[in-house]
Structure 1
Amino acid sequence: MHTTFGSLNSNMMGSLIQNAKKRIVYLAPSISKDLAEAIVARKSNVAVIEVIIDSDPEVFRLGYGEIEGIETLVKGGMTIRKTSPLRIGILIVDYQAWIFSSTALIIEEAPKENTLNSIAVNPSQVQALINSVLSENKRDDFIQLSILEDEPEISQEKFTTQDLFKTKKDLNNRPAKQFDKEREVRVYSSYFQFVELKVSGIQINRRTVKIPTKLINAQNNKAIEDKLRTTYRLIDQDSKLPSGKIEDRIKELRKKYIKSLGDGQGTIILMNLKQEFQEEVDKLKKEIEKLMKESKNKLGKYLEKTKKDLIELLLPTVISSPPEDLRTGITTRKPTKEQAKKYLDDELDYVIPNVEEFLEEMDIQCDFKDVTYEMLNNTDFQNKLKALYPYVDWPKPYSEINTIQEKVFSRK
């Protein structure tokens, strides 16, 4: 008998266990409730039953089994052994054995009948597996091997009711996700992502500062008060700083790669365009760095001019109606022109950034986020997605697939 590849799903394992007469050995990260019930049902009919699982609660969050399966075994009076970490699966029933891959349900559905996921091993290999798993008093050496291990390779440590309590507590604190929902999210996340293109400090000619109220408390000078009530433009609109080209590039980038869902639902990008988009963003970053270097001297002159213009504009008001902190800091009733200028120079330093601070704010960043299950099952979201990308063959949501399957099954 040669080693053969085949399919071994939960239903098949359940059937094999139900027909076991001498031995059941199950080793895997964890176990489903159905398989656990099948094992408990054979308790009084099978001489040797051994269950070995991974004791780490993370196996349940990955979807390797169900905590209800462990509870079923414990309530059924079965002895459970534990070892960690464990990701392989072995099923031994009487004189047959299979090595199978354990399925993490957070990644994919449980294997179907045509899934190639196991190896049926030959008799000599069965005995080797038994020697590696079972203690000597539970072995049946029906084939004499040249070397027999005195002790099994797999830990003999018991999984206790205290272990079960700790595992359930851990899962209550950090519950396992609904795996069908997580798989759907994973499928759609391979199609698109949400993207937020954050741009700051690029619109140089539109940058403004807010002038402190105490500096514009201009008695009987309504013109100045109206002009400075809220903000003051830092750079003249007619300046020759080349930020406009960067703004145009950003607009092109948004138009080419990003689509808006509207109503504050965010913007999205197709995954097959993400790398290309990121490369364009990286190019833009380099252009911004170049702009910063080229504009530094010219920008510094503009900022100095802005400060000078503001001092000239505010000087008469500060002299005639000095702010309290200035009035109480001089020895005369009114400040001199020089005192008022120095005061304004100091105060405006707090609101007008220096060149380095100004340029540091120039940046462009991308934040990517995956879609959520709630969004995928929102009809409005689905309709907008199809309207934005009418030529994409979107997968059906699992909720819709399940509804179709239920209708088919109900007809049978």
Structure 2
Amino acid sequence: MMRLFQQLNNETICRYVENAKYRVAYIGPALNQYLAARLARQHKLLGTGTVTVVVDYNEDIFRLGYGEHEAIEILQDAGITIRKETGLRISALLVDDQAWVLHQSPMAVENPKSATCNAIALLPPQIDQLVNAVGITSKQSKVKPTDDLFDKGSQTAEIGVETLADQDVKAVKKNLDNNPPQAFDLQRQVRVYSSYLQFVEIELSGGRVGQRTIKLPDKIRKSIFGNDEEIEKRLTASYRLLDGSQIEGLADINKQVDELREYTRQLNKRLGRVMLVSHKKTFTKKRDEILQNIEKWKKSAIKQLQSELDTSINALARAGAGNLLEKSPTEFVSGFTSKPTRDDAEKYLADQFKRTAPSAEKLLNSLTLQCTFKDVTYEMLKEDKEFLKCVHEAFPDLNKTLLQESDAAFVRSTGPTPDLFSH
């Protein structure tokens, strides 16, 4: 007794077609080159009218991976009439007096060779209905059409009443040639890798508070600081605002960020860091805790930082006041009705420097933790063998799974395969 639920992958379908004695019909969104080659051969062996093909036909069908456009070309070259049914998503296969309704996943989702329970075998009355609905005819057919499935006895099929036009084929082929679909085996690999791994960039921006500088006005820098050894240690074209001492609490923030990076693996300098998706929930929770700690720290550190900034600017002003009074640039003395004092010089310089220097609030607001996630890309699996090597070294526990899934990662067929008719 025939099983109702069956497994019909691409190899099984091709084998059934090869064994057809007097008729074959394939109805579905599209088909691949291997099935098309078998249908073409049966058309040659069994004669005109024995092979029926009904497909949906548009560019998106091929981009989604329901089939390959090369298969259409094979059928056309064999002289098989291709009928079109817009929006067709379910498939059916008829071989002599056996038939199945089946589901075929897009190749971008599932390997067509996979052994999946995807078909239901039809009973003889249902096969009769299928024959009539599709408008299948054969001189050797053992089944008789049922008139109620035809439009008022006009022998018009329910589906596939439109023949695929040559101009439509040429237009779609041109678009696909100009912008080819991605290799479906690689699209599946992208899903597999992305389910295990994600790239992540971790950056604590604005954390080098002690390295912040101000650019001094050129006239002031050249005229009053040229001979001061103490200032020269911190002075080039700019002046380092802080003397290198760590703001209290900042070291702890940096430590927390370093601990966050331990959830990731550095593949290499070019590729960056990746993490296991299984740890992402814990990672993001830790990241959110650090972000909260940063905001709390900013509020507590602002007074200390502003005090150190003011001290640094005032020290710079004091160091330059004497030279300013001695050289008395016009820009400085023109603002006073009498001879300026040292206090005037210090106040003038401090005011000039504060206009350039950032405030503590501005410095601290620039401190933020950024974590940017990126998925594995199609191009990476297609072209970057170094990526696969680095991943397998960084995550040895994933080797078995990922290596098995990567077997076909660098295989890409373009155009009809030469050995399609040799099986």
TM-score range, shorter chain: 0.7 to 0.9
- 1:115 paired to 2:116: yes
Alignment partner for residue 176 of structure 1, among 172, 176, 181? 181
> Offset at 1:367?
2.1
| 199 and 23 in structure 1: CA distance in 2 versus 1, 3 angstrom threshold | same
What pairs up with 1:15-94 in 2 under 5 angstroms?
15-20=15-20, 23-43=23-43, 45-47=47-49, 49-94=51-96
| AA at the equivalent of 1:28 | G
Q: Is the 8 A contact 2:189 2:405 kept in 1?
A: no
**How far, CA to CA, are the matches of 2:91 and 2:57 in structure 1?**
15
Match of 2:363 in 1: 358
Structure 1, 171-180 or 233-242: larger mean CA deviation: 233-242
Give the counterpart letter for 1:377 in structure 2. Answer: K
Cα 1:9–1:392 change in 2 (3 A) is closer
Structure 2: tracts of 5 or more residues without a match? 409-423
Q: Give 2:252's aligned residue.
A: 245
**What SS does the aligned partner of 1:221 have?**
coil
Structure 2 match to 1:290? 296
Structure-2 separation of matches of 1:161 and 1:321: 89
Looking at structure 2, the residues matched to 323 and 5 of structure 1 have their Cα atoms a distance apart, in angstroms, of: 97
Give, in whole Å, the separation in 1 of the partners of 2:351 and 2:48.
93
Q: C-alpha displacement at 1:342, in angstroms?
A: 5.4
Aligned to 1:211: 215
Task: Give per-residue Cα distances to partners, 1:250-301, cap 9 Å, x unaligned.
Answer: 122223x122234544222222212211211111112222223333444444
1:30-85 deviations in whole A, cap 9, x for unaligned?
Answer: 21222223323344625354323333323333332222111112233333233444
CA contact (8 A) 1:3 1:121 kept: no
The amino acid across from 2:292 in the alignment is: K
Contact 1:217 1:317 in 2 (8 A): no
Counterpart position of 1:373: 381
The size of the alignment, in residue pairs, is: 393
Amino acid of the structure 2 residue aligned with 1:288: I
State the one-letter code of the partner of 1:81: R
Match runs of 1:212-361 below 5 Å: 212=216, 214=218, 215-218=220-223, 220-223=226-229, 224-235=231-242, 237-238=244-245, 241-255=248-262, 257-316=263-322, 345=351, 348-350=354-356, 352-361=357-366
2:201 corresponds in structure 1 to 196
In the alignment, residue 101 of structure 1 is paired with which amino acid?
H
Aligned CA distance change for structure 1 residues 84 and 355 (closer, same or farther; 3 Å): farther
* Structure 1 SS opposite 2:222: coil
TM-fit CA distance, 1:173:
3.1
Structure 1 pair 226–355 and aligned structure 2 pair: CA distance change class (3 A): closer
Q: What letter matches 2:213 in structure 1?
A: V
Q: What residue number does 1:8 align with? A: 8
Q: Distance in 2 between matches of 1:160 and 1:273?
A: 53
2:416 match: none
So what's the TM-score if we normalise by structure 2? 0.75
Deviations 1:228-247 (A, max 9, x none): 21554434655654222211
Question: What is the SS of the residue equivalent to 1:65?
Answer: coil
Distance 1:271 1:375, change over 3 A: farther
3-state SS of the aligned residue for 2:107? coil
Larger RCO (CA within 8 A; separation ≥ 6)? 2
Task: Provide closer, same or farther for how the CA distance between residues 400 and 171 of structure 1 changes in structure 2, counting only shifts above 3 A.
Answer: closer
* Structure 1 position 95, deviation (Å): 3.8
In 1, the alpha carbon distance for the partners of 2:121 and 2:235 equals 84
Q: Is the 8 A contact 2:199 2:374 kept in 1?
A: yes
Letter in 1 for 2:403: P
1:124 partner amino acid? P
Contact 2:201–2:373 at 8 Å: present in 1 too? yes
Shift of 1:319: 6.0
CA 1:339/1:157 → structure 2, altered by over 3 Å: closer, same or farther?
Answer: farther
After the TM superposition, which of the residue ranges 96-105 and 275-284 deviates more from structure 2?
96-105
In 2: Cα distance, 1:73 partner to 1:170 partner: 20
The CA deviation at 1:321 is 6.2
| Matched-pair contact (CA < 8 Å) for 1:213–1:229 | no
- Is the Cα–Cα contact under 8 Å of residues 200 and 275 in structure 2 kept in the other structure? yes
Name the CA distance, whole Å, in 2 between partners of 1:266 and 1:211: 34
Overall identity of the aligned pairs, in %: 29
Aligned-residue RMSD, C-alpha: 4.1
- Structure 1: gaps spanning 5 or more residues: 403-412
Whether the aligned pair in 1 keeps the contact of 2:314 and 2:350 (CA below 8 Å) is no
Q: Secondary structure at the match of 1:117?
A: strand
Structure 1 residue matching 2:116: 3-state secondary structure: coil
Instruction: Give me the whole-angstrom Cα distance separating, in 2, the residues matched to 1:236 and 1:222.
Output: 17
Match of 1:410?
A: none
Q: Residue deviations 1:307-354, cap 9 Å, x none? A: 444444445556666899x58x9699x99676995576356434x223
